[in-house]
Structure 1
Amino acid sequence: MQGNLCVGSEGMDHLVYIRMRHRLQVKPHETVFLKDVAQIISDETIYEKLRQIPVHSVTDKDRNIIVIDVMKIIRLLAAFDQTIEVQTIGPPQIIIEVIAKGKKISMPMFMLIWFLLFFGAALTIMNFHEDVSMQEVQQKIYTIITGEVDSKPLIFQIPYSLGLGLGMIIFFNHVFKKRLNEEPSPLEVEMFNYQLDLDSYVSMNENKESMKNIDDR
């Protein structure tokens, strides 16, 4: 999105470029300034003053999501200086997420979640292998290659199990907290797309300036 707005009736003395950030995280009861919500390009004589313009003070009524529309920023700049010409570039609003102080997870809760995820993933893999008759396939491959019948062809099962774990590490591109390379994993891409959809929904439904109900007229 790009646009421009001339504020004031006389000649323009200051040209200000505003590019709204996409998302910002703040703490409860924190004051948000213009430098926090947007990138600013302006004359050096007013640059520092523009950066320190207060945009919003977080209160308990704000809950955890706040949407600041670019029109509010333009109104603040107009109130700051009538001779400013504002040109906006980028998204029309910013999503501010209020991050409360998180509680430390207890070790019993951590272990419970770990066991649920571990055994849930193990059962999923086992059920999949049972559905596709993986053991029978390995037995037949072993018989075809060696000419012998073995109910437990470990020469296939052990490498297959190791390869399954290695493949999951390569797929998710992580070993614990260490990334194997800079390429995002499919899970990260899906989480990114989900976050974009969520932000679009929040922008439309939480931004009071983007929607008007019949009772608001």
Structure 2
Amino acid sequence: MERPVIYLHAEQSYFLNDPKVRIKDVCSVYCKDSNLQNKINCIEVYKFKEKEDGRAFMSILVLVQAISEEIPDGEIKNMGEEDFVIYYRNPQKQPSRWLQRGKIALICVTCFLGMGISIMGYNNDVDMSRVFSQLYETFLGTRPTGATFIELFYSIGLTLGVFLFFNHTPGKKVTNEPTPIQVQMRLYERDVNQTFLLGASRKGEELDVSNND
């Protein structure tokens, strides 16, 4: 009889609301035998404390061991990550809506002030007011006595440039490409997960076949 071939593909991190962790929650499984695939998906490999948020660091070998115990004659091939992080959040512990809005408002104000100070610092370093005065005098032949239309166009162009750079206008993206912030957030998330996994491996906190009860 031909041995069933089981393909596993795990991502670097998973976010769950169910304390019971089954293979289907942390890994994509493929097998020609659909009944066997459904059986593998339902295998439980870990359980969080229901009332507490938490995270667990797991090796793919834990899944391989659990599958091998249920299907001894199966041939398992891993096509994804070797180690991954599981984040659990208790669905009953919902954060305050006003607290969430307060955090968003604080981030928006911080970003707005930070960007404004950066732009003002740049304008001061290159003496933009003098540049505008020279441009005005060059093209119109008179020295400006105050703010001119050049500053207005500069402000409009700067605003449009920010929208185009961040690939986002109010309520709508300019293109389907990810924004620079989204790219940096994904890189940050990857670095955080790798740091967690490395620290857990060094401290012996990772769930592996050597310490999996």
Same fold (TM over 0.5): yes
Counterpart selection for 2:45 from 40, 46, 55: 55
| 1:63 Cα offset (Å) | 5.3
What whole-Å deviation, never above 9, does each CA across 1:77-118 have from its counterpart, x for those lacking one?
121122222111121022112235322234666655544443
Distance 2:191 2:103 in 1: 31
1:179 paired residue number = 173
The answer as to 2:148 corresponding to 1:154 is yes
Task: Flag the 1:52–1:111 CA change in 2: closer, same or farther, 3 A.
Answer: closer
1:143 paired residue number = 137
State the aligned residue count: 201
| Helix, strand or coil at the partner of 1:178 | coil
Task: Flag the 1:191–1:151 CA change in 2: closer, same or farther, 3 A.
Answer: farther
Task: Flag the 1:74–1:171 CA change in 2: closer, same or farther, 3 A.
Answer: same
For the 8 Å contact 1:172–1:186, the answer to whether it is kept is: yes
Distance 1:52 1:67 in 2: 20
Q: If the length of structure 2 is used for normalisation, what is the TM-score?
A: 0.81
Task: Flag the 1:115–1:198 CA change in 2: closer, same or farther, 3 A.
Answer: closer
Counterpart selection for 1:14 from 4, 14, 26: 4
Q: Which deviates the most, 178-187 or 133-142?
A: 178-187
Identity of aligned residues (%): 22
Q: If the length of structure 1 is used for normalisation, what is the TM-score?
A: 0.80
| 1:187 Cα offset (Å) | 2.4
1:84 paired residue number = 74
2:34 paired residue number = 44
| 1:52 Cα offset (Å) | 0.5
The answer as to 2:135 corresponding to 1:103 is no
1:197 paired residue number = 191
| Helix, strand or coil at the partner of 1:145 | helix
Structure 1 stretches of 5 or more lacking a match? 1-10, 211-217
Structure 2 stretches of 5 or more lacking a match? 207-213
The structure with the greater share of residues assigned to strand is 1
